[in-house]
Chains A and B, each alone.
Chain A
Amino acid sequence: MPLAAALLRADAGGVSDRVDQGRAGAAGGRRGRRLGATLQRLAASAVTPLVPGDYLDLFAPLRAGAPLRARVVQVQRETRDATTLVLRPGKDWAGHVPGQYVRIGVDVDGVRRWRAYSLTSLVDAPDGLVAVTVKAIPDGVVSGHVARRLRPGALLHLDQATGDFTLGAHRGPTLLVTAGSGITPVMGMLRNHLHELSDVVLVHSAPTSSDVVFGAELRAWAAEDRLRLLERHTSVDGLLSVEDLTASVPDWRERHTWACGPTAMLDDVEAHWADAGVADRMHTERFRPTVVATGEGGTVSFAASGAVVEADGGTTLLDAGEDAGVLMPSGCRMGICFGCVVGLRSGSVRDLRSGDVTTAVPEDGIRIQTCVSAAAGPCEIDL
């Protein structure tokens, strides 16, 4: 009942908020609100134990009040491994600031997987569409699916935009340092703000000329003298060093710099800027690491109880937790009853029956059966 009640409340809240907006300022506002709330309760009691939204989802998955989703409107190939998705977000989409990213849940082979992608579209597009650009990484489950199999019409799941890799109020001299898909948040900034910026240098690295995502658009701007574009084609010229960078942009200290790309590149520029005493002028964006070290066993932390134990690869998380005095929910102890399912906040675990490894980061909301899972590297459990 607590769950059902919470769902009911959550749903009722959503609708009455909408009623509030719709009737704001009207004379009969309060009566309307009461009527709305009554209708909402009636609808809830007519469909219990589901919620009205479960039925509305059949017809209007993008409506206000629904969990945030998006419909794929267009799938555009940018380069051989980059794809832009044009999306119609649900009614509750709150907009974004250029440079921010959005977490997108894509059902790949039936499994919902969440990834963060930078928004590259105009913030005030008249059609209300937004765009993200996804670069396929080798063996990338989600990026590979987006590049090869996703079609217009598909429904995706969405969070609100987030991230502080943005220009803020800055409109002065600007240096942008990007590599690979690191161009995507910067493209969001440029498309929205280039006309307000007077002095922009973009140093972008990609293996070859044809690998430069948004290459044509960037070169057109450079041709019109709207920005200075320095392309580094790493398959010929090698990786960009900090020395190369500072040599080609001698006034780098005077500029505010936004950098996005591989970890090594970001580490280098951050260190260099810090040594020069201008760390406050460096803004970086790090993408989620895609490779997580996995092994046999590891340190298991229990988030709520604070217990930390070392468990080997053959010890179930249930046993490890019980031995550490954590109050573990349990049932059949053989993987069939699902009475022990809890959240895996982060880290990797291995299913002792199949050997399959499950990896989670905090926002993923992944749940696992502790009675048949063992640590496969450090992991954190929601207990």
Chain B
Amino acid sequence: MATSTRLSTVTTERTLTPKRSGKPDPTAHLDAEQVEALGRELDALRKEVFDSRDAHDAAYIRRVIKVQRSLELGSRAVLLFSLFPPAWFVGTAGLSVAKILENMEIGHNIMHGQWDWMRDPKIHSTAYEWDHASPSELWKHSHNELHHTFTNVLGRDNDLGYGIMRVDEDQRWYPAYVMQPVWNFFNACFFEYGIAAYDLELGKRINQGTLDDPEFRADVRKVLTKIRRQMTKDYLVHPVLSGPSFFHTLGANMVANLVRNVWTHSVIMCGHFPEGVETFAKDSIEGETRGEWYLRQMMGSANIRGSKAMHVMTGNLSHQIEHHLFPDMPSNRYAQIAPRIQDICSRYGISYTTGTLPQQVASAWRQVIKLSLPDDTGAAQTAALLARGAATGVRRRVGALLRSRRGGPAGPRVTATVTEPLPVAA
């Protein structure tokens, strides 16, 4: 019945679907036999690493957890005296690093099931709750299941611009995207709340007008409970414990959360937005085999080159390509297999996108800025499109408002301004 074709490496034929832009399928140069061989090679590599997991790997994650918790405790203790500037700086820096480690190398990776094999109930994907606005249960669904399965498939993977941005030229342009560099900046500052809204599929719910769906409301309650607890901790309990340093600790915790938001946002932007990363047409994944899925993961992800410390601070998402091939492989092993993945890529003629952190962040931002404007249009044309879009939007909104005054169904009508494609200059 519903057995996924992705469980099988057997590839007999290849269906290539061109994208809207007319760009060719980036995997077109490989025939079915080659794709099958690629799948088998990667399966064998996976097995090799998984069979060699041992006490050293277990010691690694336990050490990271110990360091992170000690650092967090120490930093929060120092912040009790944050009235004194040196204490404020040391405590804020320590807490920022601790919060980043917790979300990236610990939380993200545990929730991927990378450490389930240890059978430690405290380090298990079904039990771990992270220091984040979005409850792990919701995040695991939208991230592990949707994003990792449908990586970079246009119309299926909402991580491509999070539904608020256009990060690939094959995504349709809407006038609202002209503001996306600004959205992206705000999203970076408040990233954990952006993710919580994203995991709730808030945008889709608003568009569909299904905000009163009971399941959605239950999820909202979960998110609000989590946010309340998180905020109570950082913005009430610890400041109160600091006594005369109340406002200094409050500020320190805000800064630490801001630093983590900007850092994680930057790292995650580098995963799929930089130039050179491929996207795929919706129809291209019909009957996709394991080899084809691997192929898509490799071409749809980008790495970050850098020091060991940088890799740990990104939760090894700097090895995004390796992570997307094997999301449940312990993160400390990605560096080990990276040269072999790179070799496989070169043998099969597949791009292996990588660069330093500044290069990749700049590249992702360039995409966000460049794609905020429609393709192949001059300034005057863009201005005309924007003006027309704005006029349409205003007209429809006013219409909707009038209708709702008269008691008509306002909700669904408003969606028209968002979903209906506007003419893009050919």
Q: Contacts A54-B69, A367-B116 hold; do A338 and B328 have CB atoms under 8 A apart?
A: yes
B145 sits at the interface (CB 8 A): yes
Which residues does chain B contribute within 8 Å of A372, judged by CB atoms? 7
B381 sits at the interface (CB 8 A): no
Choose among B46, B58, B111 the residue with the greatest number of A CB atoms under 10 Å from its CB. Answer: B58
| Nearest Cβ on chain A to B130's Cβ, whole angstroms | 7
* Residue of B51, B57, B124 touching A367 (CB-CB under 8 A): B124
B88 sits at the interface (CB 8 A): no
A55 to B122, CA, bound (A): 12
B113 A341 Cβ-Cβ under 8 A: yes
* Stretch of B30-38, B230-238, B258-266 at the chain-chain interface: B230-238
B55 A352 Cβ-Cβ under 8 A: no
* Stretch of A41-49, A282-290, A294-302 at the chain-chain interface: A41-49
A45 B122 Cβ-Cβ under 8 A: no
Which residues does chain A contribute within 8 Å of B69, judged by CB atoms? 50, 54-55, 58
A276 sits at the interface (CB 8 A): no
A60 sits at the interface (CB 8 A): no
A333 B2 Cβ-Cβ under 8 A: yes
* Stretch of A19-27, A108-116, A194-202 at the chain-chain interface: A108-116
| Nearest Cβ on chain A to B203's Cβ, whole angstroms | 22
- B120 nearest in chain A by CB position: A112
B73 A331 Cβ-Cβ under 8 A: no
* Stretch of A29-37, A74-82, A203-211, A316-324 at the chain-chain interface: A316-324
Which residues does chain B contribute within 8 Å of A107, judged by CB atoms? 55, 58, 118, 120
Which residues does chain A contribute within 8 Å of B127, judged by CB atoms? 3
B77-135 interface with A by 8 A CB criterion? 111-113, 116-122, 124-127, 129-131, 135
Annotate A333-345 by CB proximity to B: 1 below 8 A, 0 otherwise: 1111111010000
Q: Contacts A46-B238, A339-B140, A339-B144 hold; do A334 and B116 have CB atoms under 8 A apart?
A: no
- Interface size of B by CB at 8 A reads 60
A45 B233 Cβ-Cβ under 8 A: yes
B140 A337 Cβ-Cβ under 8 A: yes
A141-177 interface with B by 8 A CB criterion? none
Q: Contacts A3-B127, A354-B47, A366-B119 hold; do A336 and B2 have CB atoms under 8 A apart?
A: no
| Nearest Cβ on chain B to A70's Cβ, whole angstroms | 16
* Residue of B46, B47, B116 touching A338 (CB-CB under 8 A): B116
B53 A110 Cβ-Cβ under 8 A: yes
A365 sits at the interface (CB 8 A): yes
Which residues does chain A contribute within 8 Å of B367, judged by CB atoms? none
A110 B58 Cβ-Cβ under 8 A: yes
B1 A338 Cβ-Cβ under 8 A: no
Q: Contacts A54-B69, A332-B149, A336-B327 hold; do A1 and B124 have CB atoms under 8 A apart?
A: no
* Residue of A1, A108, A112, A334 touching B6 (CB-CB under 8 A): A334
B236-250 interface with A by 8 A CB criterion? 237-238, 241
A48 B222 Cβ-Cβ under 8 A: no
A341 to B149, CA, bound (A): 16
A-B contact count (CB 8 A): 139
Please classify the interface of chain A as helix (H, G, I), strand (E, B), loop, or mixed, using the class held by over half of its residues.
mixed
Size band of the interface chain A makes with B: 35 or more
| Nearest Cβ on chain B to A261's Cβ, whole angstroms | 30
* Residue of B3, B56, B145 touching A316 (CB-CB under 8 A): B3
Q: Contacts A110-B55, A110-B118, A337-B140 hold; do A354 and B50 have CB atoms under 8 A apart?
A: yes
A75-118 interface with B by 8 A CB criterion? 107-113
* Residue of B1, B47, B117, B129 touching A3 (CB-CB under 8 A): B129
- A366 nearest in chain B by CB position: B119
B226 sits at the interface (CB 8 A): yes
* Residue of A42, A108, A336, A352 touching B148 (CB-CB under 8 A): A336
A331 B43 Cβ-Cβ under 8 A: no
B55 A319 Cβ-Cβ under 8 A: no
Which residues does chain B contribute within 8 Å of A338, judged by CB atoms? 111-113, 116, 125-126, 140, 144, 328
A-B contacts, 21 of them at CB < 8 A, read A45-B232, A46-B238, A47-B233, A48-B233, A110-B117, A112-B120, A316-B3, A319-B1, A319-B2, A331-B145, A331-B149, A332-B144, A334-B149, A335-B7, A336-B327, A336-B328, A337-B145, A338-B112, A339-B140, A366-B119, A367-B126
